[in-house]
Amino acid sequence: MAEKLTDIFGVDVFNETTMIERLPKKTYAALKKTIQNGEDLDPAVADVVANAMKDWAIERGATHFTHWFQPMTGITAEKHDSFISPAPGGKILMEFSGKELIKGEPDASSFPSGGLRATFEARGYTAWDCTSPAFLREDAAGVTLCIPTAFCSYTGEALDKKTPLLRSMEALSDQAVRILKLFGHDEVKTVSCSVGPEQEYFLVDKAKYLKREDLIFSGRTLFGAMPPKGQEMEDHYFGSLKERISAFMKEVNEECWKLGILAKTQHNEVAPAQHELAPIYNTANIATDHNQLVMEVMKKVANRHGLACLLHEKPFAGVNGSGKHDNWSMVTDTGKNLLDPGKTPHENVQFLLFLAAVLKAVDDHADLLRLSASNPGNDHRLGANEAPPAIISVFLGEQLADVLTQLIETGEATSSKQGGKLNIGVHTIPEFKKDATDRNRTSPFAFTGNKFEFRMVGSSMSIAGPNTTLNTIVADVLSDFADELEKAGNFDVAVHDLIKKTVTEHQRIVFNGNGYSDEWVAEAEKRGLPNIKSMVEAIPTMVSEKAVKLFGKHNVFTEVELHSRAEIEYEAYSKTINIEAKTMIEMASKLYVPAVIKYASSLAASINSIKTAVPDADVSVQVDLLKETSSLLASAKAALSALTGYVATAAEKEGAEQADYFRTVVFPAMSVLRAPIDDLELIVDKELWPVPTYGDLLFEV
Ligand code: ADP
Ligand code: MG
């Protein structure tokens, strides 16, 4: 297998090896300069690359190419063109020019633009992102050459998730390089950010999935009583894999490997039917593309195995939801991780400065980070009764917290706590060195050895947004730091003072305790940390004066782009809740209410026939059941009418006001409808219940 894996890894990618094999030396060198140093690309180079790419793709059976892009829907989009062009004698030629590689022109009018473009101005462009390699995709449509692209409007505004991410990566690089120069590292030309996203997901049986309109339309169950067993036994986390699941994972891994995705870790997660896949980290841009592909591959492969892959943040109430831990660090082009503390962090001034910058960035812009992890699904996790909390804080661990305390209290850090040896008390088990710090699973933003782990991101979200925000806020602080330090007379003194001042001022963001506790919520409020409870409440931060200045200064978003994105977010929220509410109305009126009426009628008939046969028989149990059922049915019917009315009212509103109405009126009304139906599920004859239950979905995979 080991040999086979190395054979298949990256076979579907136009990667460095393939480029070296197939491109003239000069072309390769020019392309590499653009990829590595961000230099402008010569159109002549594009022609040569396009031709080589086409030959490679056709040899592998490709008939079509597509510009693969990431509109603001959060998923990917593509339009396929075949390579054919007419030739004399009724024949065809297979062609692909540099122009076709560099620029595409899909009709942009049906993608969200937040008012950036009137519908009659449909022009949008896709532009080749040569920093992320092209790849082949094989499916029922045949083999398609996919070219990662950015997507923008006729007037140049970004209409996608990739463009701002690329801009933010440049901003971070520029500012980090300025700081490194001050430390004498003139050899560093660029700094990139590495990202490793851990992807959580659920797998359920496809046939059962197809019987649940809520799963089909909204990706989550909108009704469903808790089964007798949930996740309380803690027997699923890291449990041995069922055969059907291992077969799925094996195929997902193979597909990922062929696409050059470094699929590495897989295991069962906390909730029943929940699993995780983590790749080895990569440059943010490629990690983002790969994560989109991982999600696509998972859905496709699940289908082949008679399974449905649920990427929703909260497919089931009452058990854990799914997130995507975004592991993030900064690395120089010379291979040095700027967040690596080394063995003695107290002596590592450069590390402490970058650490201080991240602390300040996260504290100053906690609201923007919170926003970057907001979507309607994540509202069920963040700040609801499940982790992580909606309050942003940073976990540093014992060792770093101690170094910072020394700095703050005495002005000087003179030691770093060490991990020591771990002895389990069994002679045959070798002793080993343990880490200097334990982990903390409850922190939304945790330092984990040589990287930060942003744990708030939702499982279905593109990681482009969170990383765009993270890069920009850190770039901004580094830029202020560089301004100050470049002017300093004595660099050593200035940098020491700056670190001390920064960590002192931003101590409030550091929290090493239990982030899930109620005490923390109270404590965080005392510290003045924002606790933004929902997506709708988070959106205004995007267009705050602070955000406009920040993103504008680093050329990540213009004010117009920010406003359009806020519009899109409001709209996305309203549409999502509208679909959920309408699905509930449909399921309640066409499935649940008729089933309950059938049950109630059979109870009534049974009471009557028993009474006829044995007039003095005790039918009190049936009568009680009938009364309870009828009363719950009445509550459900009342809730159904109310919800229907609210949805109609919501349709008359728009923008922020509409989203707010969905959040504060429609959303709670959905819970009011759900409650009696879930109670009825526990009473009504299983044979009559019209949809598979939580027990069927979660335990019968
Ligand atoms: P855990 O669940 O214990 O946090 P995993 O192995 O599931 O660990 O995931 C850790 C993720 O962090 C992986 O994707 C890994 O490649 C990534 N990672 C490791 N080091 C770095 C780094 N320096 N920068 C960014 N990501 C990293
Ligand atoms: Mg993990």
Mean pLDDT of 61-68: 96
The C-alpha R_g of the chain, in whole angstroms, comes to 28
Counting ligands in written order, which one lies closest to the CA of residue 443?
A: 1
How much distance in Å is there from the Cα of 308 to the middle of ligand 2?
22
- Does the pLDDT of residue 119 top 60, yes or no? no
| Tokens found for residue 664 | 């504060």
Residue-by-residue DSSP string for 420-474:
-EE--S-TTSPPEEPPSS---TT-SEEE-SSSEEE---BTTS-SHHHHHHHHHHH
What mean pLDDT, rounded, does the chain reach? 93
Residues 6+ apart with CB under 8 A from 568: 72, 112, 113, 114
How much distance in Å is there from the Cα of 278 to the middle of ligand 2?
7
Residues 6+ apart with CB under 8 A from 163: 150, 151, 152
Burial class (CB in 10 A: 0-12, 13-18, 19+), 32: middle
Mean pLDDT of 156-165: 94
pLDDT given for residue 434 in this prediction? 76
> pLDDT: is 181 or 517 the higher one?
181
CA geometry: angle 608, 610, 615, nearest 5 deg: 95
Gap between the Cα atoms of 233 and 58, Å rounded: 53
- Kindly list the distances between the CA atom of residue 103 and the CA atoms of 62, 69, 116, 424, 670, in Å, as whole numbers in the listed order: 20, 12, 20, 61, 46
How much distance in Å is there from the Cα of 198 to the middle of ligand 2?
6
Q: Three-state SS string across 20-83, please?
A: HHHCCHHHHHHHHHHHHHCCCCCHHHHHHHHHHHHHHHHHCCEEEEEEEECECCCCCECCEEEC
Gap between the Cα atoms of 435 and 399, Å rounded: 10
Confidence band (pLDDT; 50, 70, 90) for 154? confident
pLDDT given for residue 3 in this prediction? 58
Which range has the worst mean pLDDT, 110-119, 172-181, 300-309, 396-405?
A: 110-119
How much distance in Å is there from the Cα of 281 to the middle of ligand 1?
6
Residue nearest to atom 1 of ligand 1 (CA): 198
Mean pLDDT of 71-98: 92
DSSP structure class, residue 210: T
Confidence band (pLDDT; 50, 70, 90) for 118? low
pLDDT given for residue 420 in this prediction? 74
Q: How far is CA 484 from the centre of its chain?
A: 35
pLDDT (tens digit, 9 = 90+) per residue, 292-335? 999 999 999 999 999 999 999 999 999 999 999 999 999 999 99
**Percent of the chain that is helix, strand, coil (3-state, to 5):** 50, 15, 35
Ligand 1, residues 195, 451, 455: which to mutate, most atoms within 8 A of Cβ?
451
Counting ligands in written order, which one lies closest to the CA of residue 261?
A: 1
Residue-by-residue DSSP string for 352-392:
HHHHHHHHHHHHHTHHHHHHHT--TGGGGTTTTTSSSPSB-
- Does the pLDDT of residue 650 top 60, yes or no? yes
> For residue 391, which phi and psi values (nearest 5 degrees)?
-90, 130
| Tokens found for residue 553 | 């200064």
Type of residue at 423: N
Q: Is 332 helix (H, G, I), strand (E, B) or coil?
A: strand
Residues 6+ apart with CB under 8 A from 654: none
Confidence band (pLDDT; 50, 70, 90) for 84? very high
- Does the pLDDT of residue 27 top 70, yes or no? yes
Type of residue at 237: Y
- Kindly list the distances between the CA atom of residue 694 and the CA atoms of 114, 137, 313, 318, 579, in Å, as whole numbers in the listed order: 38, 35, 16, 10, 21
How much distance in Å is there from the Cα of 376 to the middle of ligand 1?
26
pLDDT (tens digit, 9 = 90+) per residue, 411-421? 889 999 888 77
How much distance in Å is there from the Cα of 500 to the middle of ligand 1?
29
Burial class (CB in 10 A: 0-12, 13-18, 19+), 405: middle
Gap between the Cα atoms of 491 and 485, Å rounded: 7
Confidence band (pLDDT; 50, 70, 90) for 237? confident
pLDDT (tens digit, 9 = 90+) per residue, 468-478? 999 999 999 99
Mean pLDDT of 679-689: 96
Confidence band (pLDDT; 50, 70, 90) for 117? low
Gap between the Cα atoms of 176 and 181, Å rounded: 9
Mean pLDDT of 418-433: 76
Residue corresponding to tokens 């859905």: 299
pLDDT given for residue 387 in this prediction? 66
Ligand 1, residues 264, 276, 281, 438: which to mutate, most atoms within 8 A of Cβ?
281
Counting ligands in written order, which one lies closest to the CA of residue 265?
A: 1
* H or E stretch at 324: strand 324-332
How much distance in Å is there from the Cα of 455 to the middle of ligand 2?
10
Which range has the worst mean pLDDT, 125-129, 226-230, 347-351?
A: 226-230
- Does the pLDDT of residue 555 top 70, yes or no? yes
Mean pLDDT of 192-212: 97
How much distance in Å is there from the Cα of 474 to the middle of ligand 1?
20
Gap between the Cα atoms of 683 and 662, Å rounded: 31
Gap between the Cα atoms of 446 and 396, Å rounded: 6
Mean pLDDT of 653-663: 97
Confidence band (pLDDT; 50, 70, 90) for 270? confident
> Which residues are near ligand 1 (CB < 6 Å)?
194-196, 198, 265, 278-281, 327-329, 337, 450-451
Gap between the Cα atoms of 505 and 160, Å rounded: 36
- Does the pLDDT of residue 2 top 60, yes or no? no
Gap between the Cα atoms of 183 and 176, Å rounded: 11
Residue nearest to atom 2 of ligand 1 (CA): 198
Ligand 1, residues 324, 327, 453: which to mutate, most atoms within 8 A of Cβ?
327
Gap between the Cα atoms of 107 and 203, Å rounded: 35
Q: Most confidently modeled of 134-143, 385-394, 629-638?
A: 629-638
Ligand 1, residue 197: give the atom nearest the CA.
14
Q: Which of 44, 41, 64, 51 is nearest to 19 (CA)?
A: 51
| Tokens found for residue 9 | 């890894």
Q: Which of 337, 350, 341, 456 is nearest to 398 (CA)?
A: 341
pLDDT given for residue 385 in this prediction? 66
pLDDT (tens digit, 9 = 90+) per residue, 437-486? 777 778 899 999 999 999 999 999 999 999 999 999 999 999 999 999 99
pLDDT given for residue 123 in this prediction? 78
- Does the pLDDT of residue 386 top 80, yes or no? no
pLDDT given for residue 1 in this prediction? 47
> For residue 662, which phi and psi values (nearest 5 degrees)?
-60, -40
